[in-house]
Chains A and B, each alone.
Chain A
Amino acid sequence: MERSKIKELLDKYLEGETSLAEEKKLREYFTSSAIDPAFEEFKPLFTFFEKEQEIKYIEKPKINKTKKISFQWLSIAASIVLVCSVYFFSQQKEEHNNTRKVNHELAMKNTQDLLYMMTNVMNDGKNQLKYLKEFETTKNQIIRNK
C-alpha cells in the first residue's frame, strides 16, 4: 500500500472514522513484514489486537447444569453408602456378640489357669519359707545354748 494511503487511513482510524474493512486493511498491513518506519508505533498496536483475538475460552468442568446432576448422584451414592453401612454394622454387631461369648469362656478358662499358676507359685514360695523357719530355730538354739 502507498504511504499516503496508509497515512490517510491512520488519521481516519485515530479519529474513529474508519470502517471495519479499512481497519482490516490496516491490520493486514501492520502485521506484514514490510512496514514504513514512519508508522512503526502502530505495529505493536495492531499485532496486539490480532493476537488478542486468538485467545480462546477453555471450559472449566463446573457448569451449573452438571452441578445439579452431580448433587443427584451424590445423594444416590450417599443413600447407598448409608444402607450398606447399616447392613454391615448390624451384621458386625451380631458377629461381635458371638465372639464375645466365646471370648468370655476363653477368658474364664485363662483366668482360672492363671489363678492356678499363681497358687502354685505361692505354694512354692511358702515351701521356701520353711527353710527360713529352720534357720530361726537353729539360731534360737544357739542363743539359748549360749
Chain B
Amino acid sequence: MNRHQDETKHKMNQQEFLAFLEPIKDKMYRLSLRLLVSKEAAEDATQEVFVKLWNKKSTLKNYNSPEAFAMTVTKNHCLDQLKLKKNNNLRIVHNNYEDEKTSLQKQIEAKDELNHVSEILKSLSEQEQILIQLRDVEQLEYTEISETTGMKETAIRVSLSRARKKIRKEILKKHRYGTV
C-alpha cells in the first residue's frame, strides 16, 4: 500500500506533465532560439525536448530541480543539433545565409539597434550565449544556472562578465562608427 503510494507520487500523469511544462516551455523555446537562430529549428528542438522529457517523466520528479533538468536537456539537445549541422556541412550554408542577412541588415541597422545586439550575441561562444540567455534574459539565480549548465558559480560569473564586456565593446564600436 505504502509502496504503491510512493510510486504514484513519483510518476507524472499527462496532466501533471503539461502543468510542469507550462511555465517553462517559453524559456526552453527562447534558449533554443538563442542557440539555433532559426525559428523553425527552435520549434522542432523544443518539441523534441518535450518528447524526451515525456519519456523520462517517471524519473522527472526525482531530480533536484526538474525545471533545471528540462533546461539542461534543452541546452544539450540544441548543442547536439549544432554539432550535427557542423558535421553535415550545413553550417557553411547557414553561415552564408547569415552573412547575407547581416549585410542586408547593415543597411537598415542604423535604425535597428536591437538587431545589432542580436547579431553581436551570435558572435559569442555557445557557452556565453547560454549564460547571457539564462541570466540576462531569463533572470535566473546563479544556483539555477549552475544546475542547468553544470558549471561552478564563479566560472559562470567570470564567463558572463567576459560576455557582457564583449557585447558592450561591440555596441560602442557601432556607436562610434555611427557618429564619426
Contact = CB atoms under 8 A, between A and B. Distances in A.
Interface of A: 13-17, 20, 23-24, 40-45, 47-49, 51-53, 55-60, 62-65
A49 B131 CA distance: 13
5 contacts: A16-B159, A23-B136, A52-B137, A53-B137, A60-B43
A43 B167 CA distance: 12
A61 to B, nearest CB: 10
A48 B28 CA distance: 18
The number of chain B residues touching the other chain, given as a range, is 35 or more
A57 B25 contact: yes
A6 B175 CA distance: 20
Interface stretch (B3-11, B60-68, B77-85, B109-117): B109-117
B26 A42 contact: no
3 nearest A-B residue pairs (beta carbon): A57-B29, A16-B161, A16-B157
Interface string B3-45: 0000000000010000000000110111001000000000100
B74 to A, nearest CB: 11
Contacts, number: 80
A60 B43 CA distance: 8
B165 A14 contact: yes
A44 B116 contact: yes
A45 B117 contact: yes
B170 to A, nearest CB: 9
B56 interface: no
B127 interface: no
Contacts of B133: 52
Given A20-B141, A24-B139, 12 more contacts: A14-B161, A14-B164, A16-B159, A44-B116, A44-B171, A45-B167, A45-B168, A48-B117, A53-B30, A53-B138, A57-B30, A57-B46
A111 B44 CA distance: 69
B31 to A, nearest CB: 11
Contact of B136 (A49, A58, A59): A49
Contacts of A14: 161, 164-165, 168
Contact of B50 (A24, A44, A63): A63
A20 B11 CA distance: 34
A93 B114 CA distance: 71
A48 B33 contact: no
B160 interface: yes
Contacts of B161: 14-17
A55 B30 contact: yes
Given A48-B117, A48-B118, A41 B175 contact: yes
A119 B14 CA distance: 85
B54 A16 contact: no
Contact of A42 (B14, B33, B47, B168): B168
A40 B135 CA distance: 21
B90 interface: no
B47 A47 contact: no
A20 B51 CA distance: 32
A43 B116 CA distance: 12
